[in-house]
Structure 1
Amino acid sequence: MKKILYLLIVSAFFIQCGKPKEKVSENLTTANNSSNSKNINVSILIDLSDRIDPDKNPNPTMEYFQRDIEYIKAIDKGFLDHIKGKKVIQLNDQMQVFFNPEPSDPKMNDLTKQLKVSFDKNTTKDNINLVETRYSSLPLQIYQSAIKDKQYVGSDIWEFFKNKVKDYCIKDDHRNVLFILTDGYIYHKDSKFSEGQKTSYLTPELVKSLKLNSSDFKNKIQDKGLGFIKANDDLENLEVVVLGINPVKGNPFEADVIKEYWENWFKEMKIKNYQIKSADLPSNLEPIILKAISGK
């Protein structure tokens, strides 16, 4: 009996030793269950209208273009934190910057090329450092060029959602997060039209003409069928964070009207996960930006 037991123990030992060892670094099951390891596709759409002009829209605390730059740095930080939290073999992530319409300055095209970055299993620490360097310096060049040029191209955000957002900002098997840096007003001469009471644009003049300057603005919007014309559909795979809402002075409900227009628009396009934030100081908005990217 002892001899049989001895043979069984020895056999079990050799069977176990004969099994191939699992490669821990390639066993992604546990990591893939965490939100930190999911592939992320971050897009930044910058409104280069005259909202960034420090002469027309000055702010003694911190100029609006400077706030934008700090928002972009926070987005970059959140993106790189996500990258650093993943195993190299898992990397399949990207980040890019867009304008609509594109500025006439050819240098802008080169800057956006440098700001389009992607990470895969061949990524090195040098790649990460390079992205950090680019996002700490190039956005300032973009805003300086636009302000110096004074040829503000407007913000055709409506057309971007209609014709570009699916191709540019949504990738399969990714969390797709779009940050829009804008004051909330949308206008471009090539995309200004209406359907019934809905429009492809929103300006201070329009808000004033619609008399949306009292606490019952929501009822007026609903009763009259006001809002943005739906630009797209089935955008469930897109998360949107709007940063920089900055209403004109004189109407205490202007910011609320702007947010109501955007919220209703997003709901119509089936965007379920969205946030709309005013032009607060970057130190106040950074935690919101980081949380939006982490998905936690």
Structure 2
Amino acid sequence: MENIQKKQKKKKDKKPLYILVAFLLFFGLFIYAITRPSTQSKAMKELETSFNKKDVEMVWYKYKADLYQDEEFLYETRKKLTELNLNEEEINECRGWLPPPPTSINLIIVPDLSRRIIDTLNNPNQIKNDIFVLETIWKSFVEFSKLKQDTKDKLIVDVTDIDQAKGQFGEVANNLQFDLSTHKGKSNRLFFTSEKNEQFESSIKEMYKLAKDKPLGADYRFYLRRYLVNYIKKPTLFENIINKVVIITDGYLEAENKPADTKIYGFEKQLHNSVSIGNTLQVITNYELNIPKVDIDLSNTEVLICEVNERKAGKGFDFEILKTYWEDWFKRMDVKKVSFIQREQANEITAKRVTEFITK
């Protein structure tokens, strides 16, 4: 009995020791848990010591399963790749294994403000038609952008002629630039106010009023070389940019006091026959009539040419010829996609196709 009591007493004497050991063990585990490197911090440290694209890619795949949705890790990965000054091909390779960045639209509208707008014989009510197309573009742009936030969506309406770009035309064009890149931290709905709608509509009408009084030739080849090249944006590791260019024209490329780029007159017989046979591009190429290529990278650009309308003298052949000219020209400049809309009898058909081009 006495021995049992002694043993029980010894156990009681050791109980505080057990509690102390347990506490120290728990405390040690707690300290280890809060001080050990996290998966994110280990990944960040490895990014810091990455010296080339391959190193960064290996870090990405190593931690991808755990940090795929970690915005900070993704940001630092893109930042590190940007600091490496990669060429365009290497950037595209990285875009292939990184999650897709947010997408913004860069919309450039270039109406032909030449004498086509007052040619009532071939293009009756052309100004009214053009304004309808432009208003459709604006509404489609608003619908595409308004539900987003922190995008860099942009819309500009520009003119092709350098003389038109000066003076009053230039002032109007300044009111036809809408850039959401500075609209940060707020819904895009707050950008598209009734005042913005009024600004667009009134500026468009003023532009055509000025053009009606002083129509000039539409030199699109010059425009691409001098102006469009500065508006086209390239996608980055932080942002995907889709360039969309809308050209509103009857299709005849005829700059003021210059030979036509879409050469038809003088070759009517050969070109009209080619439409019937189906070898228009071959005939254009054989006679070396192709529109000269402009040195511009349009590989990330989609183009819509609308309101194309052959003249009475075209005798039902010019539309196919003009379409071939434009498609060949843009394809040789590596345009991602070319769409061609003739002038429709029903505006609703045009509106539907324009909206699809912008929003899809």
- Shorter-chain TM-score range: 0.7 to 0.9
The equivalent position to 1:115 in structure 2, one of 176, 181, 198, is 176
Separation (CA, whole Å) in 1 of partners of 2:190 and 2:266? 50
Read off the aligned partner of 1:83 and give its amino acid letter.
S
Give the 3 Å change call, closer, same or farther, for CA 206–188 of structure 1 in structure 2: farther
Segments of 5+ residues of structure 2 without an aligned counterpart are 1-32, 34-70, 75-98
Separation (CA, whole Å) in 2 of partners of 1:146 and 1:245? 19
Partner of 1:174: 241
Partner of 1:78: 140
Asked if the contact 1:169/1:178 (under 8 Å) is kept, the reply is: no
Partner of 2:290: 227
Separation (CA, whole Å) in 2 of partners of 1:112 and 1:80? 19
Aligned: 1:38 with 2:103: yes
Give the 3 Å change call, closer, same or farther, for CA 105–225 of structure 1 in structure 2: closer
TM-superposed deviation, 1:162: 2.1
Asked if the contact 2:122/2:312 (under 8 Å) is kept, the reply is: no
Question: What's the secondary structure of 1:95's corresponding residue?
Answer: strand
Partner of 2:199: 134
Read off the aligned partner of 2:175 and give its amino acid letter.
Q
Aligned: 1:99 with 2:159: yes
Separation (CA, whole Å) in 1 of partners of 2:245 and 2:349? 19
Runs ≥4 residues deviating over 6 A? none
Segments of 5+ residues of structure 1 without an aligned counterpart are 1-14, 16-25, 193-199
The equivalent position to 1:187 in structure 2, one of 250, 254, 258, is 254
Partner of 1:212: 271
Partner of 1:293: 358
Task: Describe how 1:57-72 pairs up with structure 2 within 5 A.
Answer: 57-59=122-124, 63-72=125-134
Which piece of structure 1 moves more, 241-250 or 118-127? 118-127
Q: Which has the higher contact order (CA 8 A, sep 6+)?
A: 1
Separation (CA, whole Å) in 1 of partners of 2:354 and 2:232? 17
TM-superposed deviation, 1:74: 1.0
TM-score normalised over the length of structure 1: 0.76
Give the 3 Å change call, closer, same or farther, for CA 188–39 of structure 1 in structure 2: same
TM-superposed deviation, 1:222: 4.0
Give the 3 Å change call, closer, same or farther, for CA 142–181 of structure 1 in structure 2: same
Give the 3 Å change call, closer, same or farther, for CA 221–108 of structure 1 in structure 2: same
Give the 3 Å change call, closer, same or farther, for CA 166–189 of structure 1 in structure 2: same
TM-superposed deviation, 1:137: 2.6
Question: What's the secondary structure of 1:205's corresponding residue?
Answer: coil
TM-superposed deviation, 1:234: 3.1
Separation (CA, whole Å) in 1 of partners of 2:258 and 2:317? 26
TM-superposed deviation, 1:69: 0.6
Partner of 2:262: 202
State the superposition RMSD in angstroms. Answer: 3.2
TM-superposed deviation, 1:203: 5.3
The equivalent position to 1:263 in structure 2, one of 327, 330, 340, is 327
TM-superposition CA deviations, 1:207-237 (whole Å, max 9, x none) = 53x6311213514224334321111243101
TM-score normalised over the length of structure 2: 0.64
Aligned: 1:282 with 2:347: yes
Asked if the contact 2:122/2:311 (under 8 Å) is kept, the reply is: no
Aligned: 1:145 with 2:205: no
Separation (CA, whole Å) in 1 of partners of 2:203 and 2:299? 32
Which piece of structure 1 moves more, 286-295 or 175-184? 286-295
TM-superposition CA deviations, 1:34-88 (whole Å, max 9, x none) = 99x62111000111111100545452xxx111111111111111111111131x2
The equivalent position to 1:52 in structure 2, one of 98, 110, 117, is 117
TM-superposed deviation, 1:106: 2.2
Question: What's the secondary structure of 2:179's corresponding residue?
Answer: strand
Q: Which has the higher helix share?
A: 2
Question: What's the secondary structure of 2:191's corresponding residue?
Answer: helix
The equivalent position to 1:237 in structure 2, one of 290, 293, 300, is 300
Separation (CA, whole Å) in 1 of partners of 2:119 and 2:322? 22
Separation (CA, whole Å) in 2 of partners of 1:46 and 1:39? 23
Separation (CA, whole Å) in 2 of partners of 1:236 and 1:189? 29
